[in-house]
Structure 1
Amino acid sequence: MTLTVATPHAIGRPGYTVHLPCQPESVRRARALVSSVLETWGISSLAEDGEVIVSELLTNPLDHTTCRMAKVVIERCSDDAVRIEVADKSRTRPQLKGDDAAAESGRGLFLVAALSWRWGCDEHAWGKSTWAVLKTRASAPSVFHPAPTSGSAR
């Protein structure tokens, strides 16, 4: 097993980046990283939702692409917001499917949309990054915000 160390950002917004192999065990490592980072930043109240979000975002390239590596980024956007991103080299955009409670799969992005303040997918020349922004409960509006059709909310 390869040891993967999260690298703190030296400049810009506070955050951590880690490259993980597209393997099922990487989901557990990404969840632990999100939980640890949110605890360090004193916003562990977001950890449960953050763990679910990173799991779903990382599972998409595992299940739907041939990518060998994915990059997980956790950034502190502001005092009350955290951005969780998973980037991979596939250009296939994830698709939000309906909330079919009986379905055995395909509800991941619905969960991301339900748990996050905003989410989306940015296309790049090298692939894509799928992201979600979590807000602390005190600052989060009680309105569902679907993903923008294009662009980024940073």
Structure 2
Amino acid sequence: MFLTRWRLDHLADASTLALTELVANVVRHVPGRRCTVLILREPYGLRVEVSDAVAGAVVAKAADPLAESGRGLALVEAVTDRWGCAEAAGGKTVWFECDT
């Protein structure tokens, strides 16, 4: 138990930050601001999925240095080991993984 908790404790900051960014994107870009969050404990670490009802892939891009927004997905990319977007029937799922 102790080893498992320790192995996940160091993922808390990165996964919390990445999840906050993905949910903030839902609040900003999804009509109705609805999403589903799935958090999975995997043998290699943690997988988090945020699904919404708006189709279309998302892309991390370089933000203008003076812009007030536009850095969220770049931040997700920086603090996680992997991330991506999968289109689903009637929407999409943006996911990330953090390794122990």
| TM-score normalised by length of structure 2 | 0.85
Segments of 5+ residues of structure 2 without an aligned counterpart are none
After TM superposition, where is structure 1 displaced by more than 6 Å over at least 4 residues in a row?
Answer: none
Describe the superposition over 1:50-85 as per-residue Cα deviations: whole angstroms up to 9, x where unpaired: 11000011111111120442101100121x320011
1:57 and 2:22 correspond: yes
Structure number having the greater helix percentage: 2
Cα pair distance change 1:77/1:101, threshold 3 Å: farther
Counterparts of 1:60 and 1:119, CA distance in 2: 15
Q: Which amino acid aligns with 2:72?
A: G
Match of 1:112 in 2: 76
1:84 and 2:48 correspond: yes
Say which SS state the counterpart of residue 10 (structure 2) adopts.
Answer: helix
Segments of 5+ residues of structure 1 without an aligned counterpart are 1-40, 137-154
Contact between 1:60 and 1:94, CA under 8 Å: does it hold in 2?
A: no
Counterparts of 2:72 and 2:93, CA distance in 1: 16
> When the two structures are aligned, how many residues end up with a matched partner?
95
Q: Which amino acid aligns with 1:59?
A: A
Say which SS state the counterpart of residue 131 (structure 1) adopts.
Answer: strand
**Aligned-residue RMSD, C-alpha:** 1.5
